[in-house]
Structure 1
Amino acid sequence: MSAVDTVMWRGDADRRMRSTICMVEVYDCEPEWDRLVAAHDWGSRMAPRFRQRVIESPLHTGTPSWQVDPDFDLHYHLRRVRVAGDGSMREVFTLCEQLAMTPLDPARPPWEGYLIDGLADGKTAYFFKAHHALTDGLGAILVLAQLHSTSREPIPGKPQPPAPQTEDLSALGVLTRQLGEEVRRVPRLAGMALDGARALTDPKRALSRVLRYGRSVPRVAGLVSPPGSPLLAGRSVSWRFSAFEVPFPAIRAAAAATGASVNDVYLGGLIGGFRRYHERMGVMVESIPVAIPISVRTDDDPAGGNRIAVGRLAGPVGIDDPFERVLTIREQVRAARGEPAVDIFNTIGPVLAWLPGQVLTQFSGTTAQNDLQASNVPGIPWETFVAGAKVERMFPFGPLPGCAVMATMITHGQTACLGVNFDAAAVTEPELFAQCLVDGFNEVLDLAADAGAGRLTHVV
């Protein structure tokens, strides 16, 4: 397990820091159960991490190890449930909230999948949950893509990898691996020391680099972020889901009109919603602490694990003009990506992993200062099917590691699906909050020359 994944895994010791990522898919009909089971079996062989469990160090320090579960039982991980009530999407999301808040079994591969029957209009839903240490958002999409097909009918001739071989990993084996990691790190540390020595040949330049990095560390660590909004100060262990959708061409049109990126428009719409919510609740602030993931994943990286850095923004809630707000966010995002210390958590992660569990939990709690964490993950851009059922929507929901609101957007075909997970103690007026997000997002979409390209709508 990587050092960053270790921080997430051990953070679960605090109930408010659980790092469960979720996805709700909506199908046009009921998938064939046997084909769905077979798809999960095949997918877990294509991505063996989903057959692996975590083996902790006997000292509970250092990075844990992944081991193929000798007792892997797909019957445990894949389940079938029926939604209560009238089968509405509200009932579905209420069920998914409850499932999301239930802790994963640390003795098994940390994921579960649920086929949800009983939806109105003959539809079916699928709920997937996994620990963030297993994979990041992009990795989860890559894995879920293994379950999807481009055809409603079975496609013959798919590769059939064997099930991964189990291995006996003892406590001594974990310690040996940890020691091996430290030994392999020596050449890299020696190389860094040599680079430092060479830099001393130009002391002025070396000092400038050190000072720039030193000034960058507090910004990346969130030590100089704006204070959290008093309106969103409440924290609990209760999650609430809200889903939205918007035609993706409308977001692209707004990005073209403002000279910004799709991600800048997305953030501008979210923060516009926060502004309206503060106005309606009679509590105004100039800015809120916002965190965004910055992917450092490459094509050679495996689907499992996390390949992310953190960017910090001062969300400009006080800016009324949506155009100015988007451009302000654009410049903040550029600055965050260019921070010299942007990858500091991956750099110091191997040291953090050796800290005692209680100390490490306190460190992971730095995300609690954020009022908003927002992620934008590329989705599956073509029509997809699962075991004979067409996938109509994919709504992602990130965890709430102490923050007030976690927003995640993915694209499915020509639709951008937005999942918002918020702390029930932080957002006390959920219906008003949802309407404010709709209004704030749409005022940004209205900046496009063709303002009729589409609007954000509240699904549930």
Structure 2
Amino acid sequence: MVQPLDPTAAAFLLAENRRMPMHVGGLQLFEKPEGAGRNFVHDLYTQFRESDDIAPLFLKHPVRSVRTGGQYVWREDDEFDIEYHVRHSALPKPGRVRELLELCSRLHSTRLAIERPLWEWHLIEGLRDGRVAMYAKLHHALVDGVSAMRLLQSILTSDPDRAGMPAPWESKPTTAKAREVREEAERSLSDVPLQAMRAALGISAEAAGLPGALIKTLSKSLRNETSALALYAPRTILNQPITAARRFAAQDWPLERLRAVGRATGTTLNDVVLAMCSGAMRTYLLELDALPDTTLVSMVPIGLRAKESHIASAHGGNALGSVMVKLGTDLVDPAERLRAVHESMVDGKRALAEMTPVQILAMSALGQAPAILGPMLRMGGVVRPPYNLIISNVPGPRTTQYFNGMRLLGTYPLSIPIDGMALNITCNSYADQMAFGLTGCRRTLPHLQRLLTHLDTELTALEHATGV
């Protein structure tokens, strides 16, 4: 069966090169069930390896030839090898989290083989405290980051006693809920900005009001105010060509600590997340004597309810707009940085409120075009950065989850650095924790793990500054 790739999925394949693998990933940490024997992980791997009813999403891979007119199409792998995609690893001693993150860094650095379905799943043991880890990576042409997160969550259950659960890549029962989850995972939302771009060019009547909105947005950008477009992002060490090697750092904090700061200041949970990142980046760049005089700018994705837009609803999921947020890294006081982030977000959301959903998507596509076209045209690090980094926050399960009797302790997202954008920070809430996943270029950003210490220090500073 041959299926054409949407243009955005094809763009991810065309932009990919040895230095820029275009896959997203996720690391999950589990606690083995009580009474689990020594062979528990091996038996789980054996179960995984014996999967024979593979969902279509995990069987297709991209091909192009003279017969396809030189265009990429999806084709089912006739020689699918489950043992290639599902792997069993053990950490070297002493089996600390440090060794686990180092392994994930290496696994995330290598490209997926384009001649095979674009995914891998790694079952990892050897942590000295007995925990079990799973690391998965899926190509961005296959699913976007939000869909990948939902796919990871779809394999979980709130029932601690449920055993014999299917592997993540197996076809699920065709209940309405299971079908909805599978279809949403298989349907990448990344083509929505492309359709919005077409609307911005006048194909859709709903985007007819965009020129006025564009003029207002450009005017705000020229005045260096919060906007959907950024014209004042300073050039930093983040914004240069990158190498293939990745470093991944991750840690979580109690959600209640972040919420308490938000309640004391009248700000949102996302504002506090951004303020933590702002203070951490300020300290990190100061240590490297690389802090610019003007504030860093972050692209922050904003979810739009599907019912508000015919484009989003046609694709059955949430579409994404974006706001370019000034992080206030030029400010010394942590409370002032939080206030600056909050005002920037409020101003950006107010600007979005004046547009229709289609116009928001179109504006977001225009704002992100330099970041997307840079890698495709091999101009990363040459053109002025549209923003300095991406900070996104993806909500996760609110209750404790299990997989085959194993209790999920934490889930940590890995994302995609690109030329001119050497760091990506993605956050994921789970139960009562907020996890930060930092994915960066190993050579461009030295000692990336120090950012975890700086995040912790900044949260404490925010608590002190706001009287929590």
TM-score (norm. length: structure 2): 0.74
Structural mapping, 1:121-200, within 5 Å: 121-154=129-162, 160-161=173-174, 191-192=204-205, 196=208
Once the two structures are TM-superposed, the CA of residue 282 in structure 1 deviates from its matched residue by: 3.8
Whether the aligned pair in 1 keeps the contact of 2:238 and 2:388 (CA below 8 Å) is: no
Residue 33 of structure 1 deviates from its aligned partner by: 1.1
1:329 to 335, 341, 361: 341
Question: Pick from 393, 396, 400: which aligns with 1:383?
Answer: 400
The Cα of 1:149 is off from its aligned counterpart by: 2.0
**Equivalent residues of 1:21, 1:398 under 8 A apart:** yes
Q: For 1:227, what is the secondary structure of its paired residue? A: coil
Q: Which structure exhibits the higher relative contact order, with contacts defined as CA atoms closer than 8 Å and separated by 6 or more residues?
A: 1
Q: Is the 8 A contact 1:245 1:418 kept in 2?
A: yes
The amino acid across from 1:290 in the alignment is: S
Structure 2: where are the runs of 5+ without partners? 33-39, 167-171, 180-193
Q: Cα distance, 1:88 vs. partner? A: 1.2
Alpha-carbon distance in 1 for matches of 2:303, 2:137:
21
Q: Which residue, 225, 229, 236 being the options, matches 2:236? A: 229
Name the CA distance, whole Å, in 2 between partners of 1:324 and 1:139. Answer: 35
**Alpha-carbon distance in 2 for matches of 1:297, 1:356:** 27
Q: Is the 8 A contact 1:275 1:317 kept in 2?
A: yes
C-alpha deviation, 1:129, in angstroms: 0.8
In 2, are the aligned partners of 1:225 and 1:314 still within 8 Å (CA)? no
Structure 1 position 208, deviation (Å): 4.1
1:112 partnered with 2:120:
yes
The residue that corresponds to 1:292 in the other structure is 300
Aligned residue in 2 for 1:253: 260
Q: Does residue 1:54 correspond to 2:62, yes or no?
A: yes
2:282 to 271, 275, 281: 275
Q: Which runs of 5+ in 1 are unaligned?
A: 165-180, 200-205, 452-460
Q: Distance in 2 between matches of 1:312 and 1:241?
A: 24
Which residue in the other structure is 2:37 paired with? none
- Deviation larger for 382-391 or 1-10: 1-10
- Aligned-residue offset at 1:419: 1.2
What does residue 325 of structure 2 align with? 313
State the partner residue of 1:428. 446
Q: Which has the higher helix share?
A: 1
Partner of 1:27: 30
- Does the 8 Å CA contact 2:306/2:318 hold for their aligned counterparts? no
Name the count of aligned residue pairs.
413
State the identity %: 21
**Pair 1:379–1:357, CA change in 2 (3 A):** closer
Matching residue within 78, 82, 85 for 1:77: 85
Q: Structure 1 residues 36, 390: CA separation in 2 closer, same or farther (over 3 Å shift)?
A: farther
Within 1, Cα distance between the matches of 2:123 and 2:305?
Answer: 30
State which of 423, 427, 435 in structure 2 corresponds to 1:417: 435
Match of residue 373, structure 1, among 390, 393, 413: 390
Calculate the TM-score normalised by the size of structure 1.
0.75
- Which segment is superposed worse, 271-280 or 91-100? 271-280
CA contact 2:374–2:380 (8 Å) conserved in 1: no
- Secondary structure, aligned partner of 1:92: helix
Question: Do the aligned partners of residues 358 and 292 (structure 1) sit closer, same or farther apart at CA in structure 2, a change above 3 Å counting?
Answer: closer
The Cα of 1:95 is off from its aligned counterpart by 1.0
2:11 maps to which of 7, 10, 17 = 7
